[in-house]
Structure 1
């Protein structure tokens, strides 16, 4: 068991390290805010397409019947749900048109 003086010294080291980490977190949060602001200010024309047109594009993404779409990977229908919130909502709403055969 260490002495009280050693424990106080170690506690001070820990407190200094915590303060340094809190400063680093503050800097990272500020940078994160700026990056999010830049991303949110970008214009994505594909997001202005009508949902019906996006649905048609999704259907062309899939292989024609009787071929089955892959269950995982970049060519899986699940990929469409991972692009953005809008695409996820469209893909979920059209699941009745997306056939997955086992």
Structure 2
């Protein structure tokens, strides 16, 4: 079953350019992984220090392998100096749609 990873990331004041570069590198690595179905990075229109990372992975196991990879662990270590708070990772699973007109 597809695993979705969503993270809200806020840069420390003045660290926005470095976080932006690190996140683009991280997304490129994700996109290069055959188990990654989608990796998108969004930056807030109202708050230039805030990003949203949205990824879909083939399985939860594939996501865990990715999160444990040396490249991601390097980003996690580097992020301590770039982020205002923790990574804010949240996992989600796609839910099947209910037929129209039927109560869930």
Give your verdict on TM over 0.5: no
Q: Which has the higher helix share?
A: 1
**What TM-score comes out, normalization by structure 2 length?**
0.29
**What TM-score comes out, normalization by structure 1 length?**
0.29
- Which of 1 and 2 has greater Rg? 1
Q: Which has the higher strand share?
A: 2
Q: 1 or 2 for the larger relative contact order (CA 8 Å, sep ≥6)?
A: 2
